[in-house]
Amino acid sequence: MKNPPSYGVTSVDHALQLAVILQVEGPLTVSEAARRIGVARSSAHRLLSTLVYRDFAVQDEDRSYRVGPVLEIAAQAHSNVSALRAAALGPLRTLVDTVDETANLSIRTGRTARFVASVECAQALRVGSREGMVFPAHLVTGGLVMLAALTDEEVDALYAGAPASPSEERPDLDKLRDELRAVRRSGVALNLERSERGLVALGRGVTDSRGNTVAAVSVSLPSVRYEPERVRELATALATAAERIRAAL
């Protein structure tokens, strides 16, 4: 379960958000950076300059910023993630307008799920943006949806490898297989405070033109606002959003 630290420093959080954007999406101008994280251009410039100083970013001749030596490991994935995010933003905004809850897009990398786009709703009590955050795939809605696209044998092989770190959370594979079969039958995954206390999420897969699951779209809401009767409404809205993203890819 992941909860935001009570001692979080806003400037650090903004710098980390920019580092993630550069890593998974590619070049960024100061104006774009300011818009993405909601700060003034002067603040965005200072943050980017600090990332350059620490080799997390470099500045090109056109004055845009791109991933630096520290983050270049993910450079080859930029174009795909950027195109996926661009295709999803419009449908995500429409999804938020429809259900009045926060909407997200996530991708899976191995045993983890990364949120690559997030659109918050306008309600005072809402789930905040998860963009850039990484969770164990088996703990979040989008991760479960994408794991369900694998066969049982592929899931076994995925978790047969050594832990990425001593702190990596590993699932009970028998329980996980049962959960993934249920996701395959229904087409949606439900997260009842599984990843974060006070948060409920529902998600479904996004496929490409060949039918491959390439991402997951989800809706997140405070648990105090969740009612089982809303599942059908949310599932229908998610299906529409997933189809619109597929068509836009």
Predicted pLDDT at 7: 52
Question: In CATH, what class is 77-248?
Answer: alpha beta
Cα 58–chain centre separation: 25
Enumerate the domain spans of the chain.
10-70, 77-248
Residues 6+ apart with CB under 8 A from 182: none
pLDDT of the residue at 1:
57
**14 and 36 in contact (C-beta within 8 Å)?**
no
Looking at the DSSP bridge assignments, the partners of residue 205 are: 216
Asked if 5 contacts 117 with a C-beta cutoff of 8 angstroms, the reply is: no
Straight-line distance from the first to the last Cα atom of the chain, in angstroms, rounded to the nearest whole number: 32
Give the pLDDT confidence score for residue 167 in this predicted structure. 75
Angle among Cα 175, 224, 137 to the nearest 5 degrees reads: 30
The total of other beta-carbon atoms located within 10 Å of residue 194's CB is: 18
Block mean pLDDT (10 aa), the chain, length 249: 61 90 87 94 94 87 85 58 90 98 95 93 94 90 97 94 77 96 97 94 95 96 96 97 95
Q: What pLDDT is attached to residue 157?
A: 93
HEC string for the chain: CCCCCCCCCHHHHHHHHHHHHHHHHCCECHHHHHHHHCCCHHHHHHHHHHHHHCCCEEECCCCCEEECCCCHHHHHHHHHHHHHHHHHHHHHHHHHHHHCCEEEEEEEECCEEEEEEEECCCCCCCCCCCCCCEEEHHHCHHHHHHHCCCCHHHHHHHCCCCCCCCCCCCCCHHHHHHHHHHHHHHCEEEEECCCCCCEEEEEEEEECCCCCEEEEEEEEEEHHHCCHHHHHHHHHHHHHHHHHHHHHC
Give the pLDDT of residue 169. 83
pLDDT at 94: 98
Domain 10-70 has CATH 3.40.120.10: no
pTM of the model: 0.73
